[in-house]
Amino acid sequence: MRILVTGKHGQLVRSLLETPSAREAVEWLVTGRPEVDLQCPGSLARAIRDQAPDLVINAAAFTVVDQAEEDEAATMRVNADAAGEAASAARDHAIPIIQVSTDYVFDGRAAAAYREDMATSPLGVYGRSKLAGEEQVRAANPDHLIVRTAWLYSPFGNNFVKTIMRAAGQRDVLTVVDDQLGSPTSTLDLAAGLMSAINGLAKGNRTGLGETYHLAGSGRTTWCGLATEVMANCRRLGLDHVDVLPIATADWPTRAPRPHNSELDSGKFADAFGFTMPDWRHSVRNVVERLAADR
């Protein structure tokens, strides 16, 4: 199966490339700048036409949430319009598309974990752009799979877990927001989950097409809880570790508002594809151990 995936330097793409179930079964056509620039209309559509894949995964996005507030046009171009163009190009060639989306399409006011059928109401530009991307994909290509995820981290690139580990070697104590709830998600797990759906598509199974799913780590915590778990694993492994103190969102002001509750319910995905995301603590342990081994 030939899969064209955008975002060649991103955490998810790097995780997909090393997923065991994909190593022999998939020919990856990884695209990104400068060859394919989502800021340029038509760039991704041409790549889809020229590469002739069997499936498109749009994993690229403008993800700097605070910067998105300052450059709405660029954010919408990448996260909404380019997604729509990719879906349209895929439809023209009878190709399904997987669009990766975000918990930020919700306003965070729900008391429980968000299900796919709950009302969307993004708080900022980033969330609005990703929701617009979902809408454009749905309108352009009926053979779509929209997958929302949250709080991504991995052994790759820049992410919260790596930032906390680095900060532990530079500071005496860490202060981290403790009143935002979410589902920390290892992109290694996310990639494995996506492959469970992709393997079905490769066999001609159309399960899930035309649907929206959530796929995030099992359970919930706060950013402070996540940082505390990272430090506990660092302590266990003999790495730099410091105490983590809780603070309120009001004590850490940001340009873009953050949802109070970003927990996603991934039950629908598990029912459809037989894949259940691991508990977030287990996955944090695995990533910290891998980062420790790489030092």
Confirm whether 104 is a catalytic residue: no
On whether the CB atoms of residues 155 and 109 are closer than 8 A, the answer is: no
Identity of the residue numbered 293: A
**Number of helices and strands in the chain (H, E):** 11, 12
- What does the radius of gyration of the chain's CA atoms come to, in whole angstroms? 19
**How far from 65 is each of 3, 38, 70, 278, CA to CA, in Å?**
28, 17, 10, 27
Structure-token pair, residue 33:
């700048």
Asked if 86 contacts 141 with a C-beta cutoff of 8 angstroms, the reply is: no
**d(Cα 33, Cα 225) in Å, to the nearest integer?**
35
Candidate list 104, 126, 153, 213, residue with the active-site label: 126
Active site residues: 126
